[in-house]
Amino acid sequence: MVLDIRSVRKTFQDPSGPVDVLRDVSLSLTAGEAVALTGESGSGKSTLMHIAAGLDQADAGQVFVQGTDLTTLPERALADVRRTQIALVFQQFNLIPSLDVAANIRFQAALAGRTDPDYQAHLVSALGLGGQLHKYPENLSGGQQQRVAIARALAAKPALLLADEPTGNLDEATAQAVMDEMLALVAQTDAAFLMVTHSPAMAQRLGRQVHLRSGVVSGS
């Protein structure tokens, strides 16, 4: 089990009172499994993603990544897990603006200690980034930026790849293309892949779909 979420609860304080975003969520992914997480806006998809990524803490329940319970870890150990086990592709591309494309792609792999130039070259060619390597993020289109983010995430060879609306900021055609490339690349890895999407069509392309509603998951 790469990711094992057990009975996670999360409550936010709102001016109108406490809001139970996640009430009792359990979800697990094994290596090589691809799961789509759907739900309406405000259903708690992103919150669940953040908790799975160790960016946010659950109020109750447990989150295991590769057998390590993230809910009990101190900040530094959490950072270690993020660095070595997890990769993120979010709606905002979160590239480092002052590093060029090549450096951005190398960056996380180097942090994780898994630099593999051949694999990186493969990613670059598969994502069609060959001509962009020495450009800076601000000079790339949105689709290209997201391709860089995908390449960066995969280059680190994570056990767990989390994607939160990775194509949400892209136009329809580009979104389709990026999604195709990403799924193809993910399929070549052994990573557990959890993707948040609001698009049922996109969700259908992954092996399993779970739906988040009123803070509880349901799904296949």
Partner 1 sequence: MMGMCLRALMSHWRRNGAQVLALVAGLAMATALWCGVQAINAEARASYDAAAGVLGEGQFDQLVPRDGDRIALADYVALRRAGWQVSPMVDHREGSVRIIGIDPLTAPPGLGGVLALSGPGQGVTARARAGVFVHPRTRDSLQVQLPVTADPAVPPGIAIGDIQAVQRLAGDDHLSRLIVLPTQPLRQGELQKVAPTLLLLKARQTADIAQLTDSFHLNLTAFGLLSFVVGLFIVHSTIGLAFEQRRSMVRTLRSLGVPLATVLGAMAAEMAAFALVGGGLGVALGYLIAAALLPDVAATLDGLYGAQVSGALQIRPQWWASGLALAVGGTAVAMAGHMIQTARMPLLASARPRAWVMASARQAQVRVGLGLALMAAAGLLAARGQGLMAGFALLGCMLVGGALLFPILAGWGVAWASARSKSAMAAWFWADTRQQLPGLSLALMALLLAVSANVGVATMVSSFRVTFVDFLDQRLAADLYVQVDTAQQSAALDQYLQTRGAEVLPLARTEASLAGQRVEVWGIRVGQTYRDNWVFLDATDRAWDTVQAGQGVILNEQLARRQNLWVGSTLRLTGLPTLPVLAVVGDYGNPNGQVIVGEGLFHSAFPNTPALQFGARTATPSALAADLIRDLGIDENAMVDQAALKGLSLDIFERTFLVTGALNVLTLGVAGFAMLMSLLTLADLRLPQLAPVWAMGQTRRCLGGLELGRALVLAVAVFLCALPLGLGLAWVLLSVVNVAAFGWKLPMFLFWDEYARLALYTVLAAALAALWPVRRLMSLPPATLVKVFSNER
Residues that bind partner 1 (CB under 8 A): 50, 53, 55-56, 75-76, 79-84, 86, 88, 92, 94-99, 103, 107-108, 110-112, 136
CA dihedral 84, 141, 199, 208 (to 10 degrees): -30
Closest to partner 1 by CB, 68 or 94: 94
CB 45 within 8 A of CB 90: no
Q: How far is the CB of 112 from partner 1 (least distance, A)?
A: 7
Q: Does residue 71 contact residue 63 with C-beta atoms inside 8 Å? A: yes
Closest CB to partner 1 among residues 8, 203 = 8
Cα–chain-centroid distance for residue 77?
19
* Whether the Cβ atoms of residue 166 and residue 195 lie closer than 8 Å to each other: yes
CB of 1 or CB of 110, closer to partner 1: 110
- For 13, half-sphere exposure in the C-beta direction (CA atoms, 13 angstrom radius) is 0
Q: Find the shortest distance in angstroms from Cβ 67 to partner 1.
A: 17
Question: To the nearest whole angstrom, how small is the minimum distance from the Cβ of residue 87 to partner 1?
Answer: 8
Query: What's the closest the beta carbon of residue 150 comes to partner 1, in angstroms?
Result: 14
